[in-house]
Structure 1
Amino acid sequence: MFLEALGSALVGLALAWAAVYRLPHRLPPRTLVLPTGVAGALFGAFLTHTALGSTNFLVLLSGGAIVAAASLSLLLRPTERFRRRSATA
């Protein structure tokens, strides 16, 4: 169980670091993004473990990676070119 939690936390940290590296202009500060990735991965591994029981290690890591990616996507801000101005502005 400890290795599952450690592995999913490392996967979440790697996803968050990759997001900060690739999209720094669309994300909030790094101090918010990195813990969000880790927390999302831990929660995803917990959900996968609860739903499927003691299953394959890679299945738990993939469940954690999916939830971490989903939680990181909630932090994305739109780019400037896609923002529309209101008619009154």
Structure 2
Amino acid sequence: MLLLEVLGSALLGLALSATAARVLTRRLPSTKVVLVSGVLGALFGAYLTHFALGPGHNTLTATLIGAVLVSAVVLSLLLRPAAGPRRPSHRTPFSLPSRG
């Protein structure tokens, strides 16, 4: 059962990270970093969920859901802000407002 959890979570992390790398190409670092981070996040999520459930609650579904959630959190930490039109600041940096 443990082997299924490890293989399943690694495959789900790989699928999630490959999808993120394809959809959010401009907002993520290199594809290799994204793929490795997604798989490692899923493996850590599976371990964390398996440890949190404890002995006697070894359900494959819950472990895989935990793996996908942690992998999504790790991938969200890699996102950069979108490059769009920014509004110019009306005040200069470190300026104090005048009182009239």
CA RMSD, aligned part only?
Answer: 1.6
The alignment's TM-score, normalised by the length of structure 1, stands at 0.90
What are structure 1's unaligned runs of at least 5 residues? none
Aligned pair count reads: 88
Look up the match of 1:60.
Answer: 63
The offset of 1:84, in angstroms, is 6.2
Percent of matched pairs sharing the same residue: 52
* 1:1-89 equivalence runs, <5 A: 1-53=2-54, 54-81=57-84, 87=92
Distance 1:19 1:78 in 2: 15
Distance 1:19 1:34 in 2: 9
The offset of 1:18, in angstroms, is 0.5
Choose between structure 1 and 2: higher helix proportion. 1
- Displaced runs of 4+ in structure 1, greater than 3 A? 82-88
The alignment's TM-score, normalised by the length of structure 2, stands at 0.81
Distance 1:19 1:2, change over 3 A: same
